Structure 1
């Protein structure tokens, strides 16, 4: 069938008529007013010749005259790929000759560069894409535009947005002129321009019908003709919305805070990793006496803070907690939420006495542990590292795990040694000692000085790892050319075969092989499984030729500067404010003894995660042999309960795994992850007034002292990073798996983070400036642009093109670049590859 009337098209004919035509057919069959037309099917496209006679007959049946000719590819108007504007449309086409030419133009657009790039970005197989073409009678519009059945700017599902322009509405679609915008929030609509109240109500009702019919928010093109009749021209899914929080059955609205960025994670977690992450974050919050329900939204970890926000007691602590652990963006969001009348405090009829005892005991343990660590920091460090070593030794899976059932039982068993006081309270003491002086020294010292004092911090296991990797790069000797000229993936494959000489890598992986980027996700391979990222980092280090920029020397300089600044600050503070100065001086000195321990708890916990992952992959291998999984790594896309059902009851989860892998790949492409969500889908940050920035600079928060200028290097994936000295690293976020990139960095810019988070902490260690919480930095800055990072002002200035000659950072080394450079959406790999 090469030509088919639109009235005969059904929703299950996508392979024949493409996504756009299938939806238009469904709309027409359900009674919506859709312009009459026909479809030149994919069968005609496969033949390669336009069926001119059949097209002419269908055109005559429409009555001739002007028509709209629009692409309708099989990979178009999908739930996660709209292809909006990626393939061609021809309007006001008149006459059979021009119509045939327009159809051929739509066919050609299937292989235009923009359509090819879009398919690449969404992981769509080019060979599977075929093109149908929709031909419809033109509407002569008095007004036209677009209706979004969810607010595309904020994500709110209880609001619709209408954009309208006079005439054909082309200005709305191509952005060529100003348009009228209306937000419909459920109250009686008020229109006073192109659209009056009655028309807005009619559009809202149509939007509700289409959303119900197609099962999700819709992007609807519409037109009112000269007689005031509404025509619906197209309806496609809104593919950019962040997923809704799950229904809880509890009073709304509810507020959810994203926790993954605290661990330097923006990518979605695998289902298996999500379970362990929930336990990790719940335990972390429990150490602060907070009970929070953790939930999965879009593969990311969110905590429901509604009850804490409405509790008269706990709400007072939330803003401070955000400032310390979650960062300035989360702090601004929480201040906004607490000012919202919908989250006003709700007095409890009676206190929860069941929680009073445990909370009090936790408070006593915390106070005792913190005071003990502050009083004798050297002894606290010794106890902590003994405990880390004990956890490392205890993480080895016991002998005798012979079957999948045995291995799964080991994974499901709780770790009895989780969260020991000898690790938790010295870390908390160090964090408090590092954060409290800022308020004590307000008016005496600026934040930049305090950040300088926190540089070059000893006793940080992540810094020690980075420096160990630097020392390893100095040992490669005759293998230097091999490491610089061979792709990291090829080097990793050769290492796995035993085809590489050992220049010390085995010893490094023995000590640090349990680490990786996004390492808190069980589904992510560790470096000892896939050392490609390590080889990429080694190559970056080998490009550093200036001895003064050697990371160990830079770290030593940062430490010396920190000690000198601390001494000067203490003298000044005690002179101007004797009591506060003494307290602040004591805390700053203790911070230099304890704050570096911050990474130790996570470092120790990762040993058990690696052991669990190894056993789960063995379970996955057995299930794959039994035909219940496609490959061993698929087990990371199951939950523990599902794995149990497969092991003990033969449950076949292959179809579920395939669907989840597709969803995971889609979420890997997402570039914007809300810091906080309301239960109606509203991105809370989107409704906040943006902070002004001077002279068009990008505004963030200074988190590591200094100022540096250099070419930007936008990094989306550290695993294939390529570093050139002098660049400024611009990243969505960072965790310890990124930190080897900092060793030669001129400066750091991130979209998320907290002052005490991984990235800024390590930046301070090396004495490089860092500005965090710069919204959309990886899209607003392009690789190669000259930028100035000013941590004092908390700004990132992008200098006008053309890019000047490379400018050296003041007293700094170089920066790191990575695969997936430049603006625009990343094309991420599969984080859970086996």
Structure 2
């Protein structure tokens, strides 16, 4: 069939009629007023020809005259990719030949450069897309425009936004003329511009009704005819919105702060990883006296800090916590909301008993012991890590037994006490330096003391990999010629010469980028990222820029600065001099341990992941999963249900049939539900991997709080962030969004969305570091300081505003980045033409 009237299109026919026609048909089924029209289906496009008779007969049924001819590709108006303006629209088309020509032109627009580029960016295969075409009667518009049922700039679901102009809406949707702009928050709109308050109210009400029935915020094109009739010309999901927080049932508004960027992780967390991290973060925050609900928003970990904000006992402590552990972006958000009356302190609330890290005799003994005997404390830390590395593990043979061990691993590991207090002591002594040295040392000078820091397991890992690169030098041609994926496959097959990589992976193979997510493959499973880093190291030719020499220079500079600060403190006061010397020396002896706790915890994650994959392999062998690692898209309780149902008599459980019937909370392993659940979550996960920006804080209505802050002044060439490692360097930028296959030439400035330990080997050859997120004491900045490379963190939109190859200057002292010429954001992806 080549032609279908819009009113005859049923739900589920998207592959036949494309996204635009499918959306218009949904509006018609809802009873909305849509101009009459028909669709030339994808069947005609697949053949490369259309039935002239059918098309012209449908045109006659419309009464002939001017029509709008619009693309309706199958990959269009998707929930995560609008394709706005990527394919063509023709307005006021009149006449048989003109209509047929316009339809063919819409077909041809499927393969334009802009449409192909957009599909590649959205991860959509070209050969899977087909084109239908919508033909509709033209509306003689008095005024027309666009309605967003949520604010696309702030993310607020409490606001609707309208852009309108006289006549046809093309001036608005193509962005070629200034439009009247309205933000509707439910209050009575004022009289101004081309829309009356009555029409604005009607648009808001219509939009709310459509959003409610379609289940998502909508981007709606509309037009008022000369007779005052409102016509809807299109409705599709707003694709740029970050997901809103789940409904909490608590009085609002609520404040949610994102936790992943603290660990240098912006990619989504797998469902299996989410359960582990939620428990871990809630426990960590409880140690600060904060009871925080951890929620999943867009696959990221957010904490509801509303009650902490409103409680007088924790309100001001929260600002300090944000500054130290969550970074300047989160700190700015909290400081802004402290003045918001909606987050005013609740003085009548019951005061919570505030716990502290130093509460209890064990904590006091542990901290004092580490301060008194730092070498012994370090020995206990690294002894524990080595014990964990060599600890023999035995895996049971069945999924129920394996899962029992995984569930036991959810409980806190009391064997890590030998690590906890030395690490905490290092963090505390580092945090004590600024107030102790106030008036004596600047923040930059204190950061210099913390450079070239010994006893850091991540630094030791990076330098160990550098040594592997030196041993691999005879094989340089092979390691630079083959791709990282090819080299990884060869290594796992035992086909590469031994140049020390096996020993490195034995010590550090449990690591990876985003390593806190148990759903992410470790380097030991997929060493491709390690081979990419080795290739970067082998490209270096300047011995003076070798990482070990850079680290030694940073250490020497730190020791010299330490001595200078002690001299200054002594001149101020002998007592203060002794205290400063003690604190500075202990900081250098203990602050490097900050990575040790996480590093030690990775062994448990390694074992847990291995057992989950063994469970997945058994379920795959039974035909329940397509792939063994599909288990990462289930939660632990769901996996328990699947395992229980897949064992025992008749596969109904380990103890026979369940007298209460199937568990309503878990997917049925013997039906299509399990695979459908996994496929849906995997699709969502892949979509979220492509997301470039993650809000650091959200309100309960979806508002990105940073959009409410005053914009910093800019001269058009300078980006402002936070200095995290002192120094000034100029070089060519290298924008990297994924470290797995990153190519970075020696001396280039690494521009990244974030950084965690999996990124830090790239620092060994980088001349400087720029990130969009982070905290001064987080992994990336810490390692940058220890290598002595300038770093500026929390630079909004850095990976979009800076292009690879541009000359940039990183000033870690002022917290600024100067760019020869700032890049403009890709308009095809963020402010597209529309159709």
Secondary structure of 1:110's partner?
helix
C-alpha contact 1:289 1:363 (8 A) present in aligned 2: no
1:573 is displaced (CA, Å) by: 3.7
- Tell me whether 1:555 sits opposite 2:539 in the alignment: no
Write the mapping of 1:101-500 to structure 2, written as runs, cut at 5 A.
Answer: 101-348=101-348, 350-352=350-352, 362=359, 364-394=361-391, 396-398=392-394, 401-414=396-409, 415=411, 417-418=413-414, 420-500=416-496
Distance verdict in 2 for CA 1:24–1:824, change over 3 Å: closer
Residue of structure 2 aligned with 1:680, choices 678, 701, 716:
701
Distance 2:562 2:826 in 1: 39
Distance 1:173 1:320 in 2: 45
- Tell me whether 1:697 sits opposite 2:693 in the alignment: no
Task: Name 2:665's counterpart in structure 1.
Answer: none
Distance verdict in 2 for CA 1:530–1:29, change over 3 Å: closer
- Tell me whether 1:780 sits opposite 2:780 in the alignment: no
Distance 1:94 1:416 in 2: 73
Residue deviations 1:629-683 (CA, integer Å, cap 9, x gap) = 1110101111111111111113422111111100100110111111011111111
Residue deviations 1:243-299 (CA, integer Å, cap 9, x gap) = 121222221111111111111110001111111111222232233333322111111
C-alpha contact 1:780 1:823 (8 A) present in aligned 2: no
Distance 2:807 2:125 in 1: 37
Secondary structure of 2:698's partner?
strand
Task: Name 2:765's counterpart in structure 1.
Answer: 744
Secondary structure of 1:648's partner?
helix
C-alpha contact 2:118 2:829 (8 A) present in aligned 1: no
- Tell me whether 1:536 sits opposite 2:557 in the alignment: no
Write the mapping of 1:758-773 to structure 2, written as runs, cut at 5 A.
Answer: 758-773=779-794
Distance 2:110 2:134 in 1: 14
Distance 1:681 1:51 in 2: 48
Distance verdict in 2 for CA 1:231–1:293, change over 3 Å: same
C-alpha contact 1:781 1:823 (8 A) present in aligned 2: no
Secondary structure of 2:142's partner?
strand
1:169 is displaced (CA, Å) by: 2.5
Residue deviations 1:756-798 (CA, integer Å, cap 9, x gap) = 0000000001100000000111111111111111111111111
C-alpha contact 1:475 1:504 (8 A) present in aligned 2: yes
Write the mapping of 1:815-834 to structure 2, written as runs, cut at 5 A.
Answer: none
Residue of structure 1 aligned with 2:816, choices 792, 795, 809:
795
Task: Name 2:658's counterpart in structure 1.
Answer: none
Distance 1:245 1:801 in 2: 33
C-alpha contact 1:287 1:362 (8 A) present in aligned 2: no
Task: Name 1:76's counterpart in structure 2.
Answer: 76
Deviant stretches of 4+, over 4 Å: 348-352, 358-361, 576-582, 821-826
Structure 1 window deviating more from structure 2 (473-482 vs 757-766): it is 473-482
Secondary structure of 2:445's partner?
helix
1:12 is displaced (CA, Å) by: 3.0
Equivalent pairs counted in the alignment come to 803
Distance 1:824 1:510 in 2: 45
Structure 1 window deviating more from structure 2 (461-470 vs 272-281): it is 272-281
Secondary structure of 2:143's partner?
strand
Secondary structure of 1:320's partner?
helix
Distance 1:512 1:699 in 2: 35
Distance verdict in 2 for CA 1:578–1:38, change over 3 Å: farther
Distance 1:336 1:256 in 2: 14
Residue deviations 1:322-349 (CA, integer Å, cap 9, x gap) = 1110000010011122221111111355
Task: Name 2:733's counterpart in structure 1.
Answer: 712
Distance 2:349 2:441 in 1: 45
C-alpha contact 1:36 1:136 (8 A) present in aligned 2: yes
Residue of structure 1 aligned with 2:616, choices 609, 615, 620:
620
Distance verdict in 2 for CA 1:578–1:322, change over 3 Å: farther
Task: Name 2:589's counterpart in structure 1.
Answer: 593
The unaligned stretches of length 5 or more in structure 1 are: 803-820, 827-834
Distance 1:622 1:459 in 2: 41
Structure 1 window deviating more from structure 2 (5-14 vs 236-245): it is 5-14
Distance 1:164 1:581 in 2: 68
Residue of structure 2 aligned with 1:634, choices 597, 619, 630:
630
Residue of structure 2 aligned with 1:669, choices 666, 690, 693:
690
Structure 1 window deviating more from structure 2 (266-275 vs 375-384): it is 375-384
C-alpha contact 2:367 2:421 (8 A) present in aligned 1: yes
Distance 1:577 1:211 in 2: 68
The unaligned stretches of length 5 or more in structure 2 are: 647-667, 831-835
- Tell me whether 1:10 sits opposite 2:10 in the alignment: yes
Secondary structure of 2:135's partner?
strand
Distance 2:178 2:620 in 1: 57
Secondary structure of 1:789's partner?
strand
Distance 2:24 2:536 in 1: 53
- Tell me whether 1:503 sits opposite 2:496 in the alignment: no
1:43 is displaced (CA, Å) by: 1.9
Distance verdict in 2 for CA 1:243–1:581, change over 3 Å: farther
C-alpha contact 1:462 1:736 (8 A) present in aligned 2: yes
TM-score by length of 2: 0.93
Distance verdict in 2 for CA 1:291–1:124, change over 3 Å: same
Residue of structure 1 aligned with 2:679, choices 654, 658, 681:
658
1:443 is displaced (CA, Å) by: 4.3
Secondary structure of 1:379's partner?
helix
C-alpha contact 2:164 2:179 (8 A) present in aligned 1: yes
Secondary structure of 1:753's partner?
coil
Secondary structure of 1:474's partner?
helix
Distance 2:774 2:356 in 1: 28
| Superposition RMSD in Å | 2.2
Task: Name 1:526's counterpart in structure 2.
Answer: 522
Residue deviations 1:521-560 (CA, integer Å, cap 9, x gap) = 1111111111111111111111111110110001000100
1:737 is displaced (CA, Å) by: 0.6
